[in-house]
A and B are shown apart, each in its own frame.
Chain A
Amino acid sequence: MAFEESEVRYVAALARLSLTDEEIHRFSTQLKQILSYVDKLNQLKTDDISPTSHGIPMQNVFRKDEVIPSLDVEKALSNAPAREGPFFLVPRVIEDA
């Protein structure tokens, strides 16, 4: 299975990863190897097997609509790299027209 350098660049951009040309080349080669290994699964006959999204035979796990106390604001913010009052502070994102 092909995994071109252009695709590595694209996926890296989506994941907000900044990679050097050397890394892109290396990852492209490695990802090709990994994908062709996984590709072996396609040789299996799976016509009679229904699709699964989970390895465990479990379904319908619910909770009741009952309140569990939230974190204290100070605790919620304690891992934040930056804050202002009770808010998380992030670099400005422009969304206005």
Chain B
Amino acid sequence: MSAFETVIGLEVHLQLATRTKIFCGCPTLFGSSPNSQTCPVCLGLPGVLPVLNRRTLESGLKVALALNCRIQPALKFHRKNYFYPDLPKGFQISQYDLPLSFEGVLEVPAAAEAPAFAVRIHRAHLEEDAGKLVHKEGSRASLVDYNRAGIPLLEIVTEPDMRTPEEAYRCLQTLKHTLQYLDVSDCDMEKGSLRCDANISLRPAGAKELGVKTEIKNLNSFKHVRNALAYEIRRQQEALSSGGKVIQETRLWDDVKGVTLLMRSKEFAHDYRYFPEPDLVPFVLQSEEIQAVRRTLPELPPARTRRFMEQYGLSSYDAGRLTSEKQLADYFESAVQAGGVPKATANWIQGDLLAACRERNVEILDLKVPAAHLAQLVLLVEHQTVSSRMAKDLLKAMMKTGEAPEPLVKRLGMSQVTDSGTLQAAAQTVVQGNPKAVSDYRAGKRQAIKFLVGQLMARTKGQANPELAHRILESVLKEGA
């Protein structure tokens, strides 16, 4: 079956977070009552003029620059004509031959067992969203809410550079993480702020020409994208290996059944008769303006990874993992600024904290462990006030109560005994009380000391510093010999 190569491209629609719609002053609040955010412009009433919201252009520009795109010096809008009840004007204002940006590239970092790769960005352009159709079960009518009509979107189209569903999944994750850095969208798939369609085709391994592709829609999460693509590979493989053909069509992912199904819609000619939008003048971007927006870009994951390696001495994997998500990287840096030792702080985040996030299905900021508390915990271990094993329990207590570790250590009587006088006395008692182990040790059974260390730990209720306990026992045993 490996006689075929899979070719995948993605189309992402990103809702740009603005106060108002792209061509009118209607608000963009999510979840408002139906048709309460409309006006003559976004309802497509006669005689109205769309005017571009400056912020949408700036946000789009930010994304385009972060995706290393070339920027169109003079951009235009076009009308994309088709009839559908969610489109009040009978056309969508979009971009055609002069899109905002083109020819970019997204670097997807290495995963645990997979190398880094790059996905070229074909183009990213501005357009308006359509309204929302609500189909009534068993009714011959549909309901329309135009609150979403005219919401600003940035459509990002990749080149067909991915070869596996996993690569598509990782590309989407990296894209989302990059977008979150830019603060231009809430990237919430459930609210529809981030939507994805996938194009997939197979071709004989080694062939240059692309095979016939299908487009998959109704992908509500990145996991759906991965599953739908895996299903579609099997379906196309079966068709091609049995002498059949793949037909260019749009298919919908049915997550419950785990299959893609042919989308049956009213006959829909894919002839959009694009023509320039006469109501919007061209937009010319001066290079100074582009540079000004570029200066507002935050430090993005690739650069931040390099800095984390240099500044904090992290491995490339650790740095890559931490910087992939902005809030994780910010959390790490706040903890380090609060005094946390970088390496240990990184380990705590990637270990116990992220494990707790996965377990509870929450974000790191929801764990009730502010970065400053993590820094204190790291320092308590560093100064040997608590052992690393005790620290794990301490962290659990911190997540439960939201308290800082220091008062908790006192309250729970957790602090590690590092006072050698106390340990010396306890060691004497242990040695006197366990003659068998002592004589075994002195007879050359070095392993016997482990039992004695255990006894000493038990006497101090687990609060002895294990290394110190070991050293002190050794010296007590030596003295008595």
A→B interface (CB under 8 Å) = 13-14, 16, 53-54, 56, 58-71, 73, 76-77, 79, 82, 84-97
Given contacts A62-B54, A70-B26, A90-B141, contact A77 B35 (CB under 8 A): yes
The B contact surface, by secondary structure, is: loop
| One of B165-173, B258-266, B390-398, B444-452 contacting the partner | B258-266
Q: How far is the CA of A76 from the CA of B146 in the complex (A)?
A: 10
Given contacts A54-B278, A54-B282, A88-B144, is CB(A68)–CB(B54) below 8 Å?
Answer: no
Residues of chain B within 8 A (CB-CB) of A73 are 33-36
Q: How far is the CA of A70 from the CA of B145 in the complex (A)?
A: 14
A selection of 25 A-B contacts at a CB cut-off of 8 Å is: A16-B83, A54-B282, A61-B51, A61-B280, A62-B52, A63-B54, A64-B53, A65-B20, A65-B53, A66-B20, A68-B24, A70-B38, A71-B43, A77-B35, A86-B145, A88-B143, A89-B143, A90-B85, A90-B141, A90-B142, A90-B143, A92-B136, A94-B265, A95-B263, A97-B263
Inter-subunit contact B141/A92 (CB<8 Å): yes
**In the complex, B84 has a CB within 8 A of chain A:** yes
Specify which chain A residues have a CB less than 8 angstroms from the CB of B251 in the assembled complex: 97
B25–A61 touching, CB < 8 Å? no
Given A54-B278, A60-B283, A88-B146, A65 and B54 touching (CB < 8 A)? yes
Which residues does chain A contribute within 8 Å of B39, judged by CB atoms?
68, 70-71, 76
Q: Contacts A91-B141, A93-B84 known; A63 to B53 CB distance under 8 Å?
A: yes
Bound together, the chains give a CA A58 to CA B282 distance in angstroms of 8
B25 and A63 contact, CB distance less than 8 A: yes
Q: Are B52 and A88 in contact (CB under 8 A)?
A: no
Supposing A91-B142, A93-B133 touch, asked if A59 and B19 sit within 8 A by C-beta, the answer is no
Q: CA of A58 to CA of B52 in the docked complex: distance in angstroms?
A: 14
- Distance (Å) between the CB of A89 and the closest chain B CB? 5
Q: Which A residues lie within 8 Å of B57 (CB)?
A: 62
A/B pair count, beta carbons within 8 Å: 147
- Tell me if A71 and B265 are in contact (CB < 8 A): no
The distance from the CB of B87 to the nearest CB of chain A, in whole angstroms, is 11
Given the interface contacts A86-B33, A86-B35, A96-B135, does A62 sit within 8 Å of B53 by beta carbon? yes
Whether A59 contacts B284 in the complex (CB less than 8 A), given A14-B269, A91-B142, A97-B252, comes out as: yes
In the docked arrangement, what's the CA distance between A90 and B371, Å?
Answer: 53
A71 CA to B43 CA, complexed, in Å? 10
Interface contact A97-B36, CB-CB below 8 Å: no
Q: Which of A67, A76, A85, A95 contacts B25 (CB 8 A)?
A: A67
B37 beta carbon closer than 8 Å to chain A? yes
Cβ of A8 to closest chain B Cβ, rounded Å: 14
Which 8 A-B pairs have CB atoms at the shortest separation, nearest pair first?
A: A68-B25, A97-B261, A87-B143, A65-B55, A62-B54, A90-B85, A53-B276, A88-B144
Q: Which of A62, A79, A82, A90 contacts B51 (CB 8 A)?
A: A62
Residues in B72-122 with C-beta less than 8 Å from chain A: 74, 76, 81, 83-85
Residue B140 at the chain A interface, CB threshold 8 Å: yes
List chain A residues, Cβ under 8 A from B55.
64-65
Residues of B within 8 A of A71 (CB): 38-40, 43
On whether the beta carbons of A84 and B141 are closer than 8 Å, the reply is: yes
Chain B residues contacting A85 (CB-CB under 8 Å) are 34
Among A61, A65, A96, the most chain B Cβ lie within 10 Å of the Cβ of A65
B139 at interface by CB-CB < 8 Å = yes
Q: Is A53 touching B35 in the complex (CB atoms < 8 A)?
A: no
Shortest beta-carbon distance from B234 to chain A in Å:
18
CB distance from B260 to the nearest CB of A (A): 8
Bound Cα distance from A82 to B136, whole angstroms: 15
Whether A88 contacts B20 in the complex (CB less than 8 A), given A60-B283, A65-B54, A97-B264, comes out as no
Which residues in A have their C-beta under 8 angstroms from that of B143? 84, 87-90
A58 to B281 CA separation, bound complex (whole angstroms): 6
**A92–B54 contact, CB under 8 A?**
no
Contact of A92 among B33, B36, B140 (CB under 8 A): B140
Q: Which of B24, B34, B140, B271 has the most CB of A within 10 A?
A: B34
How far is B277's CA from A61's CA once the two chains are assembled, in angstroms? Answer: 14
B35 near A68 (CB under 8 angstroms)?
no
Contact between B144 and A67, CB atoms less than 8 A apart: no
